[in-house]
Structure 1
């Protein structure tokens, strides 16, 4: 297969299918270039991540741990991860609308990290498919650097994984992927050098080739800084020796910065030198990402020190010439353990290291060089200790002539690993053909059409809203239940069932030789269905959602309901936009773009229509708003909560029914004769003023109770507010300066009106004793009950139970 054919095949699989792709190839074959082309040309919504800061910068993305908030440490299957996972709304939206996830330098990604990505995507996309249905483009060369797995980490992971490489991921093994290997090398044009690199990569290097390579060994090679050489070594110690020599050769004052090391932080884990020696003119590399808002530097950025003062080091970037002020930062040493009882991975900070995030950089490790390209490099790889080190170091160089060996490379430094050899053989068998591409396109289009016509998610979200409404029925507006019931019926009969019948007919059309996008009879059906569902969503389903009142005096219940209603409205809004995108026929990429834009553009219309009163008492929404303002003003006057004066549910009912007499007022739930006497006149006045009348038509209720002592008539409501806040009867009496019997009388009224339950006031055994006596003796006065039960009960306790029985009749 030619170069262009492979690149076109890879591009078509990325853009026109949902198949996962492993794009591999030798160093310099254009994998990173392909990645940047995909970013520019793909109509899909994508994110690019990489395992290290340097690799992420080179790929134009972010680190895996940054995007997915994964903890640094082993992600053991079946355990509870307590770290990370604190996503803001923007990141959740990104994950929900993600079509394509590009992971660069996949050779360095551990299997458990890939499974951690799978867990996050499935959770926030609310889909059980591997990786939440997101397509993966995995880019890398398994003959390059492997993932870093500490012995302690592998102890935790080895019971669950056969290998730590990415292809050991449990999620990846549950989803098929195609492998495309690029073979044409761009970085090097010298066939002799290319042949040598291929032999080292494939572990087939001959003695003659190795001898040829070792001719680049130049003893005591010491170029000047102006020549632009950088040294790549296998070990930090070697790089440090070179850097120290270069530093000594610089004129000027030597500045030494001592790290602050607290508790346990082993020497081998120091991110930079504990005694960091620098001079003006020193070549340095940043070894940590700038976590400030400015993001001035990243791990791997190279520059030269221009100035040093007491607190800051100034570094001029080689890349853009910008001078960066650098302050000290801290690193943490964390120990991970598995709690056998809770199955949690515990992370404990056992030490910190604080120092300037800089290293001398006339020499760097091979590990830091992956993804970089150098015109001139000195390679010190004779002590290679992991698979791929020699190949990565050599392949950083553009030409064999620009490469100088610090020491000859022995054959034993070219490592091999059978696991990777077996995987490479498997990759060769997974190379797709044009027929595979055609089939994958068909499958992708068929899946998208089934997704388009599925109302399962809307069905589930309506059920969720109704469950919340039912659970908190007593404090939510009756209109909400009515609207949700109508919405459920309409959605079920006109959307869910109709769409399901349409989906059942799709296989008939899918049997055609042409792809769904090119199937004209199917396209005609889709256009007609689009018109039906657009009208249904715009004229019936969404208006019902917009009309659902979500006001509630209980803040937690309101937030719970708002979350459910917003999710439902967003789903229906996205459906409407999706059907709009197929108005003239189905195009997979157009549909994807419309669906994703809907997720991002959504603004709840229901909130705009909702009639609420603001915290300062300024109200909106006609009669409802007027009643809410009166309620809140009165509550403020008495330093109590608004719902203690009049529950929001009652306000809704008042604004809907609009009673004009006390008799009509008594039909409103929450209004008894006492409350009518206390605040009925004010309520009727507001209703009639809103209706344009000047005088309220107040009809006195028969057997009016004695006038309340409180001039505003809200004393029982204030007592109820205190009681609901958790205060005892005695505490309320003391705080209000009233007799205990008065407070008990207020609470008895609340029982009569159904504002509280008798169970909130008395233990079950006492309620049962009083109720049993009343049922058995049918007493005519409370005194008879007291005489029959003796001193075991008080008059107030009898009144609580008696009022509860009367209100239930």
Structure 2
């Protein structure tokens, strides 16, 4: 199925299982659909099964969003407790579309619990909703079951009990919630990552559990030894301990000054903790000239993507930011970027850090979702079905593979998944055939009808307009500040006009910047002439001492700069 066909099906409001091989564009389709909904004033609930995946897509883990947390099962009193939580109730009640990414890593019972929560909360206001899957929401399940499966912990030690537990449903498609939702299967068939026909054929063979001697011969041509010195190419390992060891040793071997960049967080602690856990950039990023790094986020301007490799070749003398030379020769001064959790058109939590991590080594698990030109991998420690396949499918072509070793499980996928994949492909072909028979006008009617049912508008709403929507007919305090700002007033003038402290106005400005309501070209208006002259010194101090606290910067300069001046310098540092 083509991406355009999947998008058209999604827009009808049908429940959907969106799947496809790595590089087929699943994330792109979801981003396009989410943007479409937001243009029509419908905010989707964007979630994922893991913290890393949730951070990638700017959403919650499904466990956090639904309020189930780490529970393995829901008793009646658990469900009642969740239904009494105002924030969870508001979140679920307001949602018309629920997206769950990396569905392959979600246990069946977890999906059942999410379904129970949605039906309980939705059913409290509309009784019929308690009888509908997920309370009547459109549910979109995204993922590839050939990727890493859910981790099942705490099996009983008794062998018989262990056998019984393993024979229970392990994959989400066996859950009662999945079967009741009856999702339309959209199996994306186009390939946007791998550009090597032979390599793509080998990956497809692994998906069928048809890895042959011919394919092994291809792998053997990419065999390297531990003594081979392959600089500038990340190594993929199965275990964190190997990654930490390699990165630590390689950084220590570099001479020169070590620079440390600290993450800044804003928002509720539980939400920022979730963002930090899922962010591939560490809270404390230590770099030196010569450090091999990997970008951990896509650049809005297209300068780099998640997985772009490079080497730190300098640090800017004014800002202190690292200058990275990418593998294709591009020179980039790397500036901090934000990872957000958004809900109901609002940013609930933000972490800010350089979109970099050390790249001598990375785990296979954390490589999911990345596209690499090259990778060194040791598949001799593979312990789970699909782990080898995930590692192999990170790279674009066979020549980008450098394999230290492998074991028998490295080229195997779960036999049940290989069989189920045939069913998914067949179901997707049927869906494509069915929807292709619909006239364009009929589809448009279905699309519009769903937007209307969600309480959206058929008129397209811009991002800037969405950030300024009036609430309950009253302009909120941020919008009032923004109105003065757009009339060309500075923070002191706005403070006088509104009768509020300038520090309060600065807080408003900071929030409006996060929402994208204030353009970066207007940032200079925050700076007094004196602060413009001194900004470089202050920003260098932030680079040296970290950006979480203003106190150390204030003390470093002996109180020369006010806390408001320091906040402004930090604000422009993080955003410009």
Q: What TM-score bracket applies, with the shorter chain setting the length?
A: 0.5 to 0.7
**Higher Rg:** 1
Equivalent residue, structure 1, for 2:229: 222
- 1:406 alignment partner, SS class: strand
Equivalent residue, structure 2, for 1:103: 100
User: How many Å apart are 1:402 and its aligned residue?
Assistant: 2.4
- 1:386 alignment partner, SS class: coil
**Structure 1 residue 299 and structure 2 residue 297: aligned?**
no
| Distance across 2 between alignment mates of 1:13 and 1:382 | 42
User: How many Å apart are 1:148 and its aligned residue?
Assistant: 1.1
| Distance across 2 between alignment mates of 1:160 and 1:395 | 28
Equivalent residue, structure 2, for 1:188: 194
User: How many Å apart are 1:363 and its aligned residue?
Assistant: 1.6
Distance 1:301-1:518 versus aligned 2 partners, 3 A rule: closer
Contact 2:243 2:362 in 1 (8 A): yes
**Structure 1 residue 130 and structure 2 residue 108: aligned?**
no
**Structure 1 residue 150 and structure 2 residue 11: aligned?**
no
**Structure 1 residue 242 and structure 2 residue 246: aligned?**
yes
User: How many Å apart are 1:99 and its aligned residue?
Assistant: 2.3
Structure 1 unaligned spans of 5+:
253-278, 308-313, 325-357, 443-513, 520-585, 606-809
| Distance across 1 between alignment mates of 2:425 and 2:182 | 15
- 2:195 alignment partner, SS class: coil
Q: Give the aligned length.
A: 389
1:626-671, Cα deviation, whole Å (9 max, x unpaired): xxxxxxxxxxxxxxxxxxxxxxxxxxxxxxxxxxxxxxxxxxxxxx
Contact 2:23 2:193 in 1 (8 A): yes
> Alignment RMSD, CA only?
4.4
Distance 1:248-1:421 versus aligned 2 partners, 3 A rule: same
Distance 1:436-1:389 versus aligned 2 partners, 3 A rule: same
Equivalent residue, structure 2, for 1:27: 22
Contact 1:76 1:156 in 2 (8 A): no
Distance 1:156-1:83 versus aligned 2 partners, 3 A rule: farther
User: How many Å apart are 1:71 and its aligned residue?
Assistant: 2.0
The 5 Å alignment of 1:520-669 reads 587-589=448-450, 591-594=452-455
User: How many Å apart are 1:147 and its aligned residue?
Assistant: 0.7
1:747-804, Cα deviation, whole Å (9 max, x unpaired): xxxxxxxxxxxxxxxxxxxxxxxxxxxxxxxxxxxxxxxxxxxxxxxxxxxxxxxxxx
User: How many Å apart are 1:160 and its aligned residue?
Assistant: 12
| Distance across 1 between alignment mates of 2:24 and 2:180 | 29
| Distance across 1 between alignment mates of 2:107 and 2:171 | 5
| Distance across 2 between alignment mates of 1:412 and 1:517 | 48
User: How many Å apart are 1:603 and its aligned residue?
Assistant: 5.2
Distance 1:32-1:359 versus aligned 2 partners, 3 A rule: closer
Equivalent residue, structure 1, for 2:46: 48
- 2:427 alignment partner, SS class: coil
Distance 1:406-1:423 versus aligned 2 partners, 3 A rule: same
**Structure 1 residue 68 and structure 2 residue 33: aligned?**
no
Distance 1:180-1:285 versus aligned 2 partners, 3 A rule: farther
Contact 1:119 1:131 in 2 (8 A): yes
**Structure 1 residue 213 and structure 2 residue 213: aligned?**
no
Equivalent residue, structure 2, for 1:163: 169
The 5 Å alignment of 1:378-393 reads 378-393=376-391
1:226-272, Cα deviation, whole Å (9 max, x unpaired): x2x221111233324423431441347xxxxxxxxxxxxxxxxxxxx
- 1:428 aligns with one of 420, 425, 435: 425
TM (norm. structure 1) is 0.42
Structure 2 unaligned spans of 5+:
124-128, 289-319, 325-331, 338-355, 459-468, 475-576
The 5 Å alignment of 1:478-497 reads none
| Distance across 2 between alignment mates of 1:285 and 1:362 | 21
Distance 1:595-1:199 versus aligned 2 partners, 3 A rule: closer
1:168-200, Cα deviation, whole Å (9 max, x unpaired): 222222232221211221111111211121112
**Structure 1 residue 173 and structure 2 residue 179: aligned?**
yes
Contact 2:451 2:457 in 1 (8 A): no
| Distance across 2 between alignment mates of 1:515 and 1:101 | 25
| Distance across 2 between alignment mates of 1:418 and 1:280 | 48
1:24-66, Cα deviation, whole Å (9 max, x unpaired): 1111111111111111223454122111222112223222122
Contact 1:70 1:83 in 2 (8 A): no
| Distance across 2 between alignment mates of 1:66 and 1:105 | 15
Distance 1:518-1:68 versus aligned 2 partners, 3 A rule: closer
- 1:430 alignment partner, SS class: helix
| Distance across 1 between alignment mates of 2:246 and 2:261 | 12
User: How many Å apart are 1:293 and its aligned residue?
Assistant: 7.9
| Distance across 1 between alignment mates of 2:167 and 2:178 | 12
| Distance across 2 between alignment mates of 1:516 and 1:13 | 9
**Structure 1 residue 9 and structure 2 residue 15: aligned?**
no
Contact 1:305 1:315 in 2 (8 A): no
Contact 1:19 1:176 in 2 (8 A): no
- 2:184 alignment partner, SS class: strand
Distance 1:302-1:222 versus aligned 2 partners, 3 A rule: farther
Equivalent residue, structure 1, for 2:115: 118
The 5 Å alignment of 1:628-777 reads none
Contact 2:186 2:431 in 1 (8 A): no
| Distance across 2 between alignment mates of 1:86 and 1:280 | 50
User: How many Å apart are 1:393 and its aligned residue?
Assistant: 0.4
**Structure 1 residue 36 and structure 2 residue 42: aligned?**
no
Contact 1:50 1:105 in 2 (8 A): yes
Equivalent residue, structure 1, for 2:258: 280
| Distance across 2 between alignment mates of 1:602 and 1:589 | 24
Distance 1:47-1:441 versus aligned 2 partners, 3 A rule: farther
Contact 1:218 1:406 in 2 (8 A): yes
- 2:269 alignment partner, SS class: coil
| Distance across 1 between alignment mates of 2:153 and 2:55 | 25
| Distance across 1 between alignment mates of 2:194 and 2:262 | 28
Compare relative contact order (CA 8 Å, sep 6+) and give the higher one, 1 or 2.
Answer: 2
User: How many Å apart are 1:67 and its aligned residue?
Assistant: 1.4
Equivalent residue, structure 2, for 1:558: none
Contact 2:115 2:177 in 1 (8 A): yes
Equivalent residue, structure 2, for 1:637: none
Contact 2:48 2:54 in 1 (8 A): yes
- 2:205 aligns with one of 199, 209, 215: 199
Distance 1:203-1:281 versus aligned 2 partners, 3 A rule: farther
1:556-612, Cα deviation, whole Å (9 max, x unpaired): xxxxxxxxxxxxxxxxxxxxxxxxxxxxxx951452254799xx989599xxxxxxx
